[in-house]
Structure 1
Amino acid sequence: MRYVIAVAETNSFTRAAERCLVVQSALSHQIARLERELGARLFDRTSRRVRLTPAGEAFLPAARQCLDAAERAAADVAAAVGEIRGRLTVGVIPTVAAVDIPAALHDFHRRYPRVRIGLRVGASEELVEHVKQGAIEVAFLGLPATARPQGVRAYELARDRHVAVVAPAHPLAKEPDVDLRRLSSEVFVDFPAGTAGRMQSDQAFSAAGLVRDVAFEVTAADLMARLIQQGLGVAMLPSTYTPQLTGVATIPVTDAPARVEHLVWSRFGLTPAATAFLTVLGIPSELLTGRNRQDP
């Protein structure tokens, strides 16, 4: 099952074998043996590509669940004898500011060196789905003040307001503040439409009866800043995040939208590693044990 997952994720028997630290012939032999046992081919193979068959598509989710269950069982046994190990995959939005993620992961790794740590960066709505599916254990989100994470356990970390981000030479850079009406005449750099990071600004302009021009849609805040530096547009970003940016100016927005940062995890139980990580972050123990539950 590990070999099948590796081939599915790399679309290559060669790269899958490298990932699994086995020779390609051994990996191919084991997958062929599994296909004979199942009575169906899992992959279509050509000289140029490898792709899952419908049978392979059906097999993959269950295979992942089986491997996750095996890893969870081993981690639970280790925790029962006082050892935290296993996997911890953390999801973060690009503009997380409430927690210093590298420092938190360093602290956790120092305390629990046998836990394999992973990190995924994505949009809030994607990360929530990954938590629900068990692909990641915990995630840091940023949502409009009017929204709450759905289908997961959540803990509010911080509240913030957006500021305008412009090039240092932009006429607004010298202003003490600005409002949405003035900003609506500018060309914007923003996150992709439909994402939580974009939704906060879209809702604010819509509520004010204003329309703006979002010409640049990007997923990385550092690229956003580089576009702004070149005078190609302006943006609105959380005030606690913007100090990480260089070469730009920020202006308070009098009617700016608010953002809430949340930490979320599964409603259906925590791995020992995830429990340990949340404890390191100072999450109240009653939330981890299920008491005082406030699930959406």
Structure 2
Amino acid sequence: MNLRQIEYAVAVADAEHFTRAAEACHTVQSALSHQIARLEDELGAPLFERTSRRVRLTPAGRAFLPAARQLLHDAQRVRDEVAAATGQIRGSLSVSVISALNSPDTVALLADFHRRHPRVDIRLNSGMSEVMLVDVREHRVDVAFVGLWSGEEITGLNTRLLCDEALVALLPPSHPLAMRPQLDLQMLAAERWVDYRSGSAARRQTDEAFARAGIERRVSFEIDHTALLERIVRQGLAVGMMPAGSATELNGLVAVPVRDAPTRRVYCVWARQPTPAAQAFVELVIAATEKTA
């Protein structure tokens, strides 16, 4: 068993396809398939179920994958730690952010990081908090900025609480409630709602608030990105909620405080044993948030 075989197997698990995995690993499919076959022989069990349309992990493959990711992460960290000992921060840095993130300015932080450490390959993407937490635990992402409802715990990761932020009602200017100085959940209960997908961390914020108040509501539109929520509200199809800092930046919409609104907690999260690049970026994040505190 060697690291290249493990890298190939993880790439197939991520792509669920041998050809795409070979392309990602910059090799030909025959070589990748041969190495995975040798790995399976050594392990004494098949890792993948192969069909004409896709590739799926077997039970043995599902047991193999977390340890394989950890092994690849540790191997890369060894290389990066040695480089850091000679004064070089290199390798890669993968950052994920929620779509409704007003502060800190992750793009500005990444630009500062790049100026300091130009040899690090930087990647940035956005997503849902619950997915990003798994990605950090499984070393697909180095650092993530997530938003959770106040009762939710984060386990197995380093965390830095960045802010507590109340959600506000987001309404089109023509809405009858848009002129009110303040609302409450009962006043909004009869409206059509746009919210994040059921079960997501972002959705639980509002679901928990309505449940605590003993109020039912109707969610007609389920989305996974703030931009779509904004468009639906702008067309008058539904009302929604957003963090106050993000809502105030939307021209042409009205953000109204809600007396019993849920509160979102924004965290920076990273692995218990970060790479030197991840640690250096987290230090920039902490320094930036301490300046604005």
TM range (shorter): 0.7 to 0.9
| CA–CA distance in structure 1, aligned partners of residues 263 and 17 of structure 2 | 45
Q: 2:185 aligns with which of 180, 187, 192?
A: 180
| CA–CA distance in structure 2, aligned partners of residues 216 and 20 of structure 1 | 39
Q: 2:20 aligns with which of 15, 19, 30?
A: 15
Q: Which residue of 2 aligns with 1:42?
A: 47
- Structure 2 vs 1, CA of residues 37 and 260 (structure 1 numbering), >3 Å: closer, same or farther? closer
Instruction: Within 5 Å, give how 1:263-274 maps onto structure 2.
Output: 263-266=268-271, 268-274=272-278
Is the aligned partner of 1:166 residue 2:190? Answer: no
| CA–CA distance in structure 1, aligned partners of residues 59 and 184 of structure 2 | 53
Q: 1:149 aligns with which of 145, 149, 154?
A: 154
| CA–CA distance in structure 1, aligned partners of residues 12 and 107 of structure 2 | 30
Extract unaligned runs of 5+ from structure 2. 1-5, 289-293
| CA–CA distance in structure 1, aligned partners of residues 156 and 31 of structure 2 | 41
Q: Secondary structure at the match of 1:140?
A: strand
Shifted more, 10-19 versus 123-132: the winner is 123-132
Is the aligned partner of 1:205 residue 2:194? Answer: no
Is the aligned partner of 1:240 residue 2:238? Answer: no
Q: Per-residue displacement from partner, 1:39-91 (whole Å, max 9, x unpaired)?
A: 43333334433333333333322222221111011011111111111232223
Q: Secondary structure at the match of 1:90?
A: strand
Is the aligned partner of 1:231 residue 2:269? Answer: no
Q: Per-residue displacement from partner, 1:179-200 (whole Å, max 9, x unpaired)?
A: 2221112111111233332222
Q: Which residue of 2 aligns with 1:290?
A: none
Is the aligned partner of 1:29 residue 2:19? Answer: no
Amino acid in the other structure paired with 1:274: A
Q: Per-residue displacement from partner, 1:159-208 (whole Å, max 9, x unpaired)?
A: 22211111232222233332222111211111123333222222322333
Amino acid in the other structure paired with 2:174: A
Is the aligned partner of 1:136 residue 2:141? Answer: yes
Instruction: Within 5 Å, give how 1:246-261 maps onto structure 2.
Output: 246-261=251-266
Count of paired positions: 283
Amino acid in the other structure paired with 1:270: P
Q: 1:222 aligns with which of 223, 227, 239?
A: 227
Q: Which residue of 2 aligns with 1:288?
A: none
Amino acid in the other structure paired with 1:195: S
- Structure 1 vs Structure 2 CA RMSD: 2.3
C-alpha deviation, 1:6, in angstroms: 1.6
CA contact (8 A) 2:69 2:138 kept: no
CA contact (8 A) 1:184 1:212 kept: yes
Q: Secondary structure at the match of 2:183?
A: coil
Q: 1:51 aligns with which of 48, 56, 60?
A: 56
Q: Secondary structure at the match of 2:154?
A: coil
- Structure 2 vs 1, CA of residues 30 and 274 (structure 1 numbering), >3 Å: closer, same or farther? same
| CA–CA distance in structure 1, aligned partners of residues 212 and 66 of structure 2 | 42
C-alpha deviation, 1:272, in angstroms: 0.8
- Structure 2 vs 1, CA of residues 170 and 153 (structure 1 numbering), >3 Å: closer, same or farther? same
Q: 1:96 aligns with which of 76, 101, 113?
A: 101
Over the matched positions of the two proteins, sequence identity in percent amounts to 49
Amino acid in the other structure paired with 1:111: R
C-alpha deviation, 1:240, in angstroms: 0.3
CA contact (8 A) 1:72 1:271 kept: yes
Q: Which residue of 2 aligns with 1:106?
A: 111
- Structure 2 vs 1, CA of residues 217 and 134 (structure 1 numbering), >3 Å: closer, same or farther? same
Q: Which residue of 2 aligns with 1:119?
A: 124
| TM-score for the superposition, normalised by structure 2 | 0.86
CA contact (8 A) 2:84 2:276 kept: yes
CA contact (8 A) 1:98 1:261 kept: no
Extract unaligned runs of 5+ from structure 1. 285-296
| TM-score for the superposition, normalised by structure 1 | 0.85
Q: Secondary structure at the match of 1:217?
A: strand
| CA–CA distance in structure 2, aligned partners of residues 143 and 232 of structure 1 | 26
Q: Secondary structure at the match of 1:240?
A: helix
| CA–CA distance in structure 2, aligned partners of residues 149 and 27 of structure 1 | 37
Q: Secondary structure at the match of 2:88?
A: coil
- Structure 2 vs 1, CA of residues 50 and 202 (structure 1 numbering), >3 Å: closer, same or farther? closer
Amino acid in the other structure paired with 1:197: A
C-alpha deviation, 1:142, in angstroms: 1.8
C-alpha deviation, 1:274, in angstroms: 1.4
- Structure 2 vs 1, CA of residues 43 and 180 (structure 1 numbering), >3 Å: closer, same or farther? closer
Is the aligned partner of 1:75 residue 2:80? Answer: yes
- Structure 2 vs 1, CA of residues 251 and 33 (structure 1 numbering), >3 Å: closer, same or farther? same
| CA–CA distance in structure 2, aligned partners of residues 239 and 145 of structure 1 | 16
